[in-house]
Chain A
């Protein structure tokens, strides 16, 4: 009796896959990347190896953390599978570079790719409102970065609404959450004036989310201006390069965002003086204009008087020409005759009779005379 179980090849593969799925629903393996290939712009094949072994990995381009190169060290999370034709492989669920060297290498490659697309161009940078009235803060609400930002912002400025979107800033879920938070803020009914994406310092691995392609693209694509502040000084993350403004630490982000109220209060104390000076200038100018008008009036008045004097002089001359005393001095005489009870100036000989008494006024004397004879010029008629 032979009770040995004999399986077909297909059955064996199926049993192996069931066993693997039960024992290792998924596994994360770290190793060096080799034989990296992309097929039909969609499928990704590579080997993960160390000194002792090699494991084939299979996935899609959508799972790539960015450009990869042979020699980089990757942590690949995947499902072990036995393929009916191609043998054992790891079906990739996610992957990320690990180790300082590989993370930097991945960042350099991704940076070159995104820079070529223009994501870091200075002309893309927008002005961040200063100071803003509504800040969208994307960080871990339990972190020191959060506390530092809130404390420094509150010490420097007031009246700001801060909408905090609590996210993981490291680990596998961080990139997805950071992207979701940026989109969430961009979709708010009352949008913030600025988005601050921040976290404290950490190892290259801790900060990796901020150099992933998806987070960098989300920062660059935000309709709301962005400030990215990662608490480290040595290396700059790609999200910082894509941001409209970069800050070195969470506290520095708060400092860049708002003025210090003490400095503003100090400058405000100068304002009453500015206002007073400006008002005094207006008054001084008006006073100057008034003096000018007074002088004009004064000068103009003088001219009127001079004109009047000239006119008066001319009239005096005319009057002088008609002065009878002046005529008497030139040799003329005024002759008056008694006519009834009154004395009249004699203008005609018609009313004169011999014997009529005449009063003759010359320049320096009154002479009394009597008419002897009157001869009219035109008729030659004579009274005698």
Chain B
């Protein structure tokens, strides 16, 4: 999985893995691979949720006016 993967991508992948595992025609070899892939995705999601922080960018409005700021 790519390093830049975000929560949505990882979460969607995990749902796809689970859906593939629950498909009626999945073979045992594929199921074992999907299981391992699913566990990796769970770990990546847990790490993402535990560590990810928000990034804040501040912009001034265009145009600006000097009055009436709420504090």
Contact partners of A202 in chain B: CB under 8 A: 70
Which of B32-53 touch A at CB < 8 Å? 32, 34-35, 38-39, 42, 45-46, 48-53
Instruction: Known A163-B59, A180-B62; judge A173-B32 contact (CB<8 A).
Output: no
Interface of B is mostly: mixed
Most chain A CB inside 10 Å of its own CB: which residue of B7, B26, B66? B7
Whole-angstrom CA separation of A165 from B45 in the bound complex: 31
Q: Are A159 and B48 in contact (CB under 8 A)?
A: yes
What distance in Å separates the Cβ of B63 from its nearest Cβ neighbour in chain A?
A: 6
B68 interface hit (Cβ, 8 Å) = yes
Q: How many residues does chain A have at the interface if contact means C-beta atoms less than 8 Å apart?
A: 52
Q: Are B46 and A170 in contact (CB under 8 A)?
A: no
Q: Are B61 and A140 in contact (CB under 8 A)?
A: no
B3 interface hit (Cβ, 8 Å) = no
Whole-angstrom CA separation of A40 from B59 in the bound complex: 42
Instruction: Place the interface of chain B in its size category.
Output: 35 or more
A372 interface hit (Cβ, 8 Å) = no
Which of B6-64 touch A at CB < 8 Å? 6-8, 14, 17-18, 21-22, 26-28, 31-32, 34-35, 38-39, 42, 45-46, 48-64
Q: Are B46 and A265 in contact (CB under 8 A)?
A: yes
Contact partners of A206 in chain B: CB under 8 A: 70
Q: Are B54 and A157 in contact (CB under 8 A)?
A: yes
Contact partners of A275 in chain B: CB under 8 A: 17-18, 21, 34-35, 38-39, 42
Q: Are A268 and B18 in contact (CB under 8 A)?
A: no
Q: Are A161 and B18 in contact (CB under 8 A)?
A: no
Stretch at the interface among A28-36, A279-287, A332-340: A279-287
Q: Are B61 and A165 in contact (CB under 8 A)?
A: yes
Q: Chain B: residues with CB nearer than 8 A to chain A?
A: 6-8, 14, 17-18, 21-22, 26-28, 31-32, 34-35, 38-39, 42, 45-46, 48-71
Question: Apart from A163-B59, A166-B61, A278-B22, what 4 extra A-B contacts exist at CB < 8 Å?
Answer: A159-B6, A177-B65, A271-B42, A282-B28
Residue pairs across A and B with Cβ atoms less than 8 A apart, 6 shown, are A158-B52, A161-B55, A163-B57, A166-B59, A265-B46, A275-B42
Q: Chain A: residues with CB nearer than 8 A to chain B?
A: 131, 133, 140-143, 145, 150, 153-154, 157-174, 176-177, 180-181, 184, 199-200, 202, 206, 261, 264-265, 268, 271-272, 274-276, 278-279, 281-283, 286
The 6 closest A-B pairs by CB, nearest first: A171-B68, A158-B52, A173-B65, A159-B52, A282-B31, A278-B21
